Amino acid sequence: MTSATEAIVYTRSEKVRTLAAVLLGYLFDGYDLQIISYVLVPMSHSLNTSVGTIAVAITYSLVGSVIGGLFFGWLADRMGRRNTLLLTILTFAIFTLLTGFATSVSQVYLLRFLAGFGIGGEWGVGFSMLNEAWSEKTRGTSGGFLQSMFEYGLLIAATSAGILIGRFGAAEGWRYAFMVAGLLALALLSLRFIMPESKVWNRYNRLKEEGALPQGYDVRSPMVQIFSRGVLKWTVLVSFFSAFALFSGYSMIVFMPTYLGAGGLHLTISQYTPIITLALLIGTPAYWLDGWLSDRIGRRRTAQLFISLLLLTLVAFYYEASHPPAYNGILTYPFFYILIGFDAFVGYFAHMGVWYGEIFPTRMRATGTNFAYAVVGRGLGAGLAPIIIPALAMVGGYGMAMALASGVSALIALILTLLIKETKGTVITPV
């Protein structure tokens, strides 16, 4: 029979192949989820509707990710990590591609919902793979590098949207942006087959099949277990932390192109695309710093440090939004430097997946992580941003709405870190 205490060892090759495979998922997760943010205006013109109406498609995508997060998290805990990841990327690749052919708002809503269904499973399942393959000494560092791929997905989205709209015009450029995202994801799908199955999950599954789990060990559905005694507290806390953290981030990320463009500062797409692109490029390496620091000073302290710096950045954004400066080039434009700060300090997301994966045990790791991040975080927190920000903008404009909503929710997230346990140094085991 399989031993629960027998050491689990990953070779260097297995670690590299695991990291490479999940990196691709996160890269196209970010690209797919955010590409619509950079084409809201041309989509609204092409489909004869308002920016706010198209923006609701983001909410549909996030609602889809709620259902996908529940389904794929459960599937990964019951059926394995590897094949579940393959299924998530196939799902969001196909429906992202089809979005480029949409001819009505209702079709956009449906296709973004279905793409979101695939995206919803990616985050928790990928981090479960990473948590189970890496040691407690470097897990945060690798997690920071992994999460940065989401930001580089945003970078590709911003760059490709600008290039394609510039090349093909607003009416067709947004369509090609979705088509390129879907085709690239499908083309790179083959690389996911290099990924080995999680050895930790394999060991747990064999112990379960052989009846060798400790006496009285809870083998109920993972969806039941994350609400069981001893786990419920952490499920609730990290779920609310995710909700306020993602609402804060999405309040800025989703509407930044709109605010810099027609919805606020009236910069052209050729002016604001380089601002967003360069700020992402410069700020994103802070995700690596966040992951590295979480291995040195702990998960909780690192989150508190980055959120505090984020709040200072949002104060600067609020001030500049209330006194909009004239645009005389990137290097003299205050919003450029504020965006660098935002992109850097929102990097406390970097070790979030590692933190959650150390809180939830193997038998419910993917389910718990996906529930907190994809279901509550993206579904409730991020999902409300496309609805609340346009409503607030009707009163004080997009800049003021974004700054206030993001700042208040980041402050609440900071307070919640005081209640979540520190997990630095946690050794992940099959049982």
pLDDT of residue 238: 97
Mean pLDDT of 221-227: 92
Instruction: Give CA–CA dist 337/89, Å, rounded.
Output: 34
Instruction: Give CA–CA dist 162/174, Å, rounded.
Output: 9
298 membership: H or E segment, kind and range: none
Residue with tokens 């920000």: 389
pLDDT of residue 235: 97
Most confident of 123-127, 254-258, 328-332: 328-332
Percent of the chain with pLDDT over 90: 45
Most confident of 13-17, 91-95, 267-271: 91-95
pLDDT of residue 162: 80
Tell me if the domain spanning 12-191+223-417 has CATH number 1.20.1250.20.
Answer: yes
295 membership: H or E segment, kind and range: helix 286-296
Tokens describing residue 424? 């630095």
How far separated are the first and last CA of the chain, in Å rounded?
A: 15
Handedness of CA 82, 195, 362, 367 (dihedral sign): negative
pLDDT of residue 249: 92
Give 399-416 pLDDT, tens digit per residue.
999 999 999 999 999 999
Mean pLDDT of 205-212: 89
**String of b and e for 75-103 (b: at least 16 CB within 10 Å)?**
bbbeebbbebbbbbbebbbbbbbbbbebe
Give 132-153 pLDDT, tens digit per residue.
998 889 999 999 998 898 888 8
Query: Taking 80 as the threshold, does the pLDDT of residue 206 lie above it?
Result: yes
DSSP structural state of residue 346: G
pLDDT of residue 4: 61
- Measured CA to CA in angstroms, residue 72 lies from 82, 246, 267 at distances of 11, 20, 41
Query: Taking 60 as the threshold, does the pLDDT of residue 207 lie above it?
Result: yes
Query: Taking 90 as the threshold, does the pLDDT of residue 248 lie above it?
Result: yes
Q: What is the average pLDDT score of the chain?
A: 89
pLDDT of residue 5: 62
Do the Cβ atoms of 251 and 314 come closer than 8 Å?
Answer: no
175 closest CA partner among 183, 165, 166, 167: 165
pLDDT of residue 40: 85
Residue 203 pLDDT level (bands cut at 50, 70, 90): very high
pTM: 0.85
Query: Taking 60 as the threshold, does the pLDDT of residue 328 lie above it?
Result: yes
Instruction: Give CA–CA dist 169/162, Å, rounded.
Output: 10
Give 48's contacts (C-beta < 8 A, 6+ positions apart).
Answer: none
Instruction: Give CA–CA dist 308/316, Å, rounded.
Output: 13
Tokens describing residue 355? 């933190």
Do the Cβ atoms of 365 and 373 come closer than 8 Å?
Answer: no
DSSP structural state of residue 348: G
Among the ranges given (25-39, 239-253, 311-325, 351-365), the one the predictor scored with the smallest mean pLDDT: 25-39
Query: Taking 80 as the threshold, does the pLDDT of residue 301 lie above it?
Result: yes
Instruction: Give CA–CA dist 159/157, Å, rounded.
Output: 6
Query: Taking 80 as the threshold, does the pLDDT of residue 154 lie above it?
Result: no
pLDDT of residue 311: 97
Q: Which amino acid is at 253?
A: I
pLDDT of residue 113: 94
The Cβ-side half-sphere exposure at 163, using a 13 Å CA radius, reads 11
Tokens describing residue 18? 């695991």
pLDDT of residue 202: 92
Query: Taking 60 as the threshold, does the pLDDT of residue 1 lie above it?
Result: no
Instruction: Give CA–CA dist 346/307, Å, rounded.
Output: 7
Most confident of 9-18, 101-110, 119-128, 167-176: 101-110
Tokens describing residue 145? 């590098």
Angle at 202 between CA 198 and CA 204, to 5 degrees: 120
Query: Taking 90 as the threshold, does the pLDDT of residue 426 lie above it?
Result: yes
Do the Cβ atoms of 292 and 298 come closer than 8 Å?
Answer: no
Instruction: Give CA–CA dist 183/171, Å, rounded.
Output: 20
Instruction: Give CA–CA dist 46/346, Å, rounded.
Output: 33
Query: Taking 70 as the threshold, does the pLDDT of residue 428 lie above it?
Result: yes
Instruction: Give CA–CA dist 328/349, Å, rounded.
Output: 33
pLDDT of residue 313: 97
pLDDT of residue 2: 60
Within 10 Å of residue 154's Cβ, how many Cβ atoms? 23
pLDDT of residue 3: 63
pLDDT of residue 310: 97
Do the Cβ atoms of 291 and 151 come closer than 8 Å?
Answer: no
Three-state DSSP string of 350-389: CCHHHHHHHHCCHHHHHHHHHHHHHHHHHHHHHHHHHHHH
pLDDT of residue 77: 92
Query: Taking 80 as the threshold, does the pLDDT of residue 102 lie above it?
Result: yes
